[in-house]
Amino acid sequence: MTDIGNRVIDNNAGLLAEHKEGSVRDVFEHYLTKAIEEDRDNSFRLDVGTGFLFFSGFEAIADRFEELIETGSVSRIEDPEWGTEAPIRVVMGPETSNRTKSILLSLVTDQVIEYDDEAIDILRRFVEKGVVDFRVITERNFHPKFYSFYLRSEVPDDIWAGSANFSKGGLQSNIELSVQMQAGNQDRELFREWFDKLWEQGEEDLDVLEVIENVQQSDYVYQPPSVFFAKLIRYLDRDYLLDSSVSTSGSPLLEYQNLTYNIVMERLQRFGGYILSNSVGTGKTYVAAQTAATYQRRFPDNEILVVAPSNVTEEWEDVFDEFNVASETEFLSMGMLQKQPLEEATAGDRVFDYREYTDRFSLLIVDEAHNYRNDSNRRNNLEDIIRQNGDSDVLLTTATPINISPEDLFSLIDLFYRAGRVHQFETAGLKSHYENTRQRLKKLNKYDDLSSSLIRDIKTIENELSIKITWRIIQEEFQEDLRELAGDDVEYDDPEITEEEYDYPTRYQSEVFEEIVPFLDQLNYEPSKLWDGQGYQNFDNLIFRQKWRLYKRLESSLKAFHDSIDNLHKRFILYYEAITRDTAIEEGDVSSHVTSIDPQEAATATDFERLETVVTTYRSLDSDLQETVLTNLRSDIDLIEQMGDRIESSFGTTETVPYPGDNKVAKLQSIVADKLGEEKPVVIFSQYSDTVEYLYQSLSDEHTGVRRIHGGLSEDKEAFVSSFNRGEFDVIITTDMLAEGVNLPRADAIVNFDLPYNPITLIQRTGRALRITNPKQVEVHNFRPTDSIDRELELYEKLDARLDTILDIVGLDFIVWLMDKKKIEQLHEEEREEYLESLDEYNETMASSNPSDIAPEQAPPEETRTDRILRRAIDTYNLSSDDVLAVSPSIRRPIYTVVESSDYQDQETEAHDATVRDTPLSNFAVLGETGGDPSIWTPLHRSVKAGSDAAGLTESDKQTIEKIREERQEQYNRERVTAGQLGRAASQLVDQVEEVMDLVSDPEMRGTLDAVRERLEADTYTVPQRNALADSLSSIQEEVYGWMANPDTEIRNAPEWQTVIHMSEKGRAESGESELKAVIKYQNND
């Protein structure tokens, strides 16, 4: 007999020592065992008060109830005051606002269909033998949870009350609290009287036996639409549709944020990852916080992880606190991920230990995710965290999923397109499209192979896996949100763009700008041809990029160009001296070797590791090549000195700041003076720190409230931004280090002193001054050279730059703009001249227009068709969270309902569901599972209005539905690796599995490898799954585990082993069979 004395009945919550806790099931075991063993003339009785969840509780303890019958410990009751012949009375309170008889019967049905046939037979026998009877309280809400056990008399021996429903969870898995009431005989008699009255008030006309018979005899179980749609919402995990509506006191989300949240939730469930790319200042953090709160509600045993730059971590914490989820969230600074990954660390390294983050999180949120595009410590450590939380979903937030190349987007998606998630892409119908597009992109040798069809495919993937609501969309589509923010009608105007053309005095033009292209054309950049292990190579693209960067510094500022020429001269002198001397030049010993220039300045301008490579490579060349290098390097030094002389003669004394005749700076000074006179704080952006310093010197003498920041300074960015926002100064001069991840809402004017090619960068810069809570029109001043000094196209022509090199510099946005504006299907090298002319037009447009007009903008996002229809069902049937929680979350037997058909002209399909795209609507909406994942096989109609339940499903209907299932199965099989003969790659993997198996002795680990081998031999893995498995097995084999006496522990702790475990579990859990779950029959009433 189970001992329940001196225990807290909390379902073994783990709060106390094991011998001090027990479960509600233990309580039942105690009294049922006592009744069976003590044999008191069939005197056992039981009263139960519970929510509408009796049947799952019955299943959890059915074996003991059946033993009661078999041992004769219960019998029919002849006491008329008992109110029924059944010794077990159950009073249920439906946890739903809809309490009609049909609804209650449907909820009973929903409980019954969750059993297997054996469990249903046991329940049938209980009802048929009259052992159990049910009543439902329909008039009022019913919340008591109690159990009265009768062992000796007609009054309860013991009464237990608390929080536990008579459900499977309430009996053994949920954290509950049930306490034995300390009641004397008079109190227990009073409680018996109270329950008798309760029993009399209950609804008795619920024929459970009829429900059981219907379930056992039916291939499909009918549910009225209200219960059916509640079931779909729970089965598909669309409970987020029931969250508080926007603009209410209970929800801080605005309408467009709520729409974003719904889409984010749907995509996370469908793909396991998503990219939130709403424009800067529109509240991505709030959407992420609502998402985190929902995950915390769904997965209370797991935490949330937020990875964010340190300067915005406090903002994340504040918002998460507003959503009451901060205490369940760990906030990890992005800087921590810059440490050396554990597996790559050596002695003395600062190490990031991913093992501290293993199996803890249900949701990983990564802010400013574009910082993880490229291979780095940050990305590697983040991948380790994701791998160690294989079941978690990943939400990436960034305003720039694509910066220059489409590879940017795919690199981010790969963070959640991983082993264990590939099947979700497969189920959603996106897997092959994603992999094919990615493969086409990888095969591109150069940008001039890029076609409009490939661009469209990339945009399809971007639209499917990311959402971007821009300021313009908010302005046009969400006017109510704007009123909610401002308390009145308000407009969020586009930025006021002013193109600031500039030129320089004639002597500058003739001496410098007209000579810049010939100078760069003649420059050899000889050191760039000397690389360790590669000898003497003319790397045309590399050299062109260096020349192009030098030109762009001239376009930025005279000072940046002057500094660059000066540094280049010093560096080349040092190179020349180093390769013509027999002794090496060390970093601290420049003065003894170099006398023609300042030694310290030469040392500052030189990378000595690179210098060593140049010298070593030079000495490996034959004498003819060495002579060529020396001649070309000497020529470069002469050319640079000539350009230096031109600068000196043009600019005059370069000690004067700003330079005499610097019209560009003069125009900036005028703009700043005007804005400060209007009390408008200003942020000035440049791509170069030299320019930032020059502008700071040029402005700070005239204005006291000027400060600058760039990567070369030790200034604390967070403190700097806070000082500006507090009004301690009014002018910021900065590089793009302040173009993302910070908020500068005080700024009223943005100055782009030099223009990047990427409109997204300009949007980001402007976005620093914009907040959804701070409506204003930001002034933007874009500096652009006049035609008289703009030599960029001439540079491309003279240096004969290849089209793919130019496009690689300019970036994807220009390509998309070019294809869209010029209607070009594919780029061709021979049409390079035409494209360069368009590039000039593009640059002019960038300077004079809103960058949002240039950057490709997604259409206003919409919820999926399914979500819209389920929301309509929620409204039609007034469904609440209680209604959804009243049904089981799973579907073990197919269910169906009948709905009036929508307009037969309605051919709208699920725009965001690739499995039903371009599928005409049928007379049935069919949902099912293939490979263990719910999916919509044929789309739902708009209509949710109840049809006649008499319509039922005919044999012809069932044949049609079965055909739909077979077609879905065929589609799934086509997307899978063809089963059959074991391929060479799979055979090699089997060998790898067996080699790893030789390393381990732990039976559980060997069983895991056995499961993987069985699935490999059945050839059921997809290609990405095989690749992930091969990588993990190879990593394990490459380690020195074979030298260890007992490597099991080390292998078990390796991140690669988690992938092996995951693949083995997929092998056991995932079935390739398509399993029907739910059907809506659309009834044509014509």
SS (H, E, C) 909-923: CCCCCCCCCCCCCCC
Q: How far apart are CA 796 and CA 137, in angstroms?
A: 83
Alpha helices in 179-306 (DSSP H): 185-201, 208-217, 225-235, 255-271, 284-298
Pair of tokens at residue 398: 């960034």
For residue 264, the model assigns a pLDDT of: 93
**Do both 478 and 574 map to the same domain?**
no
* Burial of 884 per CB tally in 10 Å (0-12, 13-18, 19+): buried
Between 610 and 785, name the one with better pLDDT: 785
Tell me the pairing of strands 45-51 and 146-150: antiparallel
Taking only the tens place, the pLDDT of each residue in 857-900 is: 556 677 788 888 998 999 898 888 878 877 877 888 898 999 98
**Do both 274 and 359 map to the same domain?**
yes
Indicate whether 1002 belongs to any domain: yes
Task: Name the nearest CA neighbour of 238 among 209, 216, 267, 211.
Answer: 267
Taking only the tens place, the pLDDT of each residue in 792-850 is: 888 877 777 766 677 667 766 677 666 666 666 666 666 667 777 777 777 777 777 77
For residue 605, the model assigns a pLDDT of: 46
List the CATH number of the domain containing 779.
3.40.50.300
**Do both 682 and 735 map to the same domain?**
yes
Residue type, 685: F
Q: What angle do CA 159, 164, 166 make, to 5 degrees?
A: 85
- Whether residue 471 contacts residue 279, with contact meaning beta carbons closer than 8 Å, is answered with yes
Residue with tokens 């026998």: 125
DSSP string, 473-510: HHHHH-HHHHHHHHSS----PPPEEEEEEE---HHHII
Taking only the tens place, the pLDDT of each residue in 958-991 is: 999 999 988 888 777 765 544 333 455 567 788 8
For residue 103, the model assigns a pLDDT of: 66
For residue 920, the model assigns a pLDDT of: 52
- The band of 196, judged by pLDDT with boundaries at 50, 70 and 90, is very high
Hey, is 1067 helix, strand or coil?
A: helix
Indicate whether 453 belongs to any domain: no
Range of the domain at 307: 241-401+467-486
pLDDT at 632 exceeding the cut of 80: yes
List the CATH number of the domain containing 54.
3.30.870.10
- The band of 493, judged by pLDDT with boundaries at 50, 70 and 90, is confident
Indicate whether 512 belongs to any domain: no
Residue type, 1039: E
**Do both 728 and 708 map to the same domain?**
yes
- The band of 912, judged by pLDDT with boundaries at 50, 70 and 90, is very low
Pair of tokens at residue 330: 């760990």
- The band of 774, judged by pLDDT with boundaries at 50, 70 and 90, is low
For residue 783, the model assigns a pLDDT of: 94
pLDDT at 342 exceeding the cut of 70: yes
pLDDT at 161 exceeding the cut of 50: yes
For residue 982, the model assigns a pLDDT of: 43
As a whole-number percent, the residues of the chain with pLDDT over 70 amount to 80
Taking only the tens place, the pLDDT of each residue in 505-553 is: 988 888 899 999 999 999 998 888 888 767 888 877 788 888 888 999 9
Last residue of a domain, one of 610, 629, 651: 651
Indicate whether 421 belongs to any domain: no
**Do both 988 and 1076 map to the same domain?**
yes
For residue 247, the model assigns a pLDDT of: 32
**Do both 16 and 144 map to the same domain?**
yes
pLDDT at 1081 exceeding the cut of 80: yes
- What are the Cα distances from residue 354, in Å, to 229, 378, 659, 960? 42, 12, 53, 52
Highest mean pLDDT among 323-327, 571-575, 827-831: 323-327
Indicate whether 132 belongs to any domain: yes
DSSP state of 335: G
Q: How far apart are CA 833 and CA 797, in angstroms?
A: 9
Domain count, the chain: 6
Last residue of a domain, one of 763, 785, 807: 785
**Do both 778 and 801 map to the same domain?**
no
Indicate whether 471 belongs to any domain: yes
Q: What is the mean pLDDT of residues 93-108?
A: 62
Task: Name the nearest CA neighbour of 392 among 327, 326, 307, 468.
Answer: 307
DSSP state of 526: G
**Do both 961 and 1015 map to the same domain?**
yes
Last residue of a domain, one of 729, 762, 785: 785
For residue 1079, the model assigns a pLDDT of: 93
- What are the Cα distances from residue 418, in Å, to 382, 394, 494, 942? 13, 11, 40, 35
**Do both 624 and 675 map to the same domain?**
no
Between 744 and 890, name the one with better pLDDT: 744
Q: Spell 689-726 as b/e; 16+ CB within 10 A means b.
A: bbbbbbbbbbbbeeeebbbbbbeeeeeebeebbeebee
Task: Name the nearest CA neighbour of 1080 among 868, 924, 894, 869.
Answer: 924
N- to C-terminal Cα separation, the chain: 65
For residue 363, the model assigns a pLDDT of: 96
**Do both 877 and 1002 map to the same domain?**
yes
For residue 976, the model assigns a pLDDT of: 58
Indicate whether 228 belongs to any domain: no
Between 400 and 40, name the one with better pLDDT: 400
Between 951 and 685, name the one with better pLDDT: 685
pLDDT at 587 exceeding the cut of 70: no
- The band of 254, judged by pLDDT with boundaries at 50, 70 and 90, is confident
- Whether residue 858 contacts residue 1045, with contact meaning beta carbons closer than 8 Å, is answered with no
Q: Share the mean pLDDT of the chain.
A: 81
Indicate whether 1049 belongs to any domain: yes
As a whole-number percent, the residues of the chain with pLDDT over 90 amount to 24
Q: What is the mean pLDDT of residues 218-242?
A: 87
Q: How far apart are CA 1082 and CA 897, in angstroms?
A: 9
Any bridge partners for residue 286, and if so which?
Answer: none
Sign of CA dihedral 1018, 1021, 1022, 1026: negative
**Do both 589 and 568 map to the same domain?**
yes
pTM, entire model: 0.69
**Do both 476 and 546 map to the same domain?**
no
For residue 905, the model assigns a pLDDT of: 40
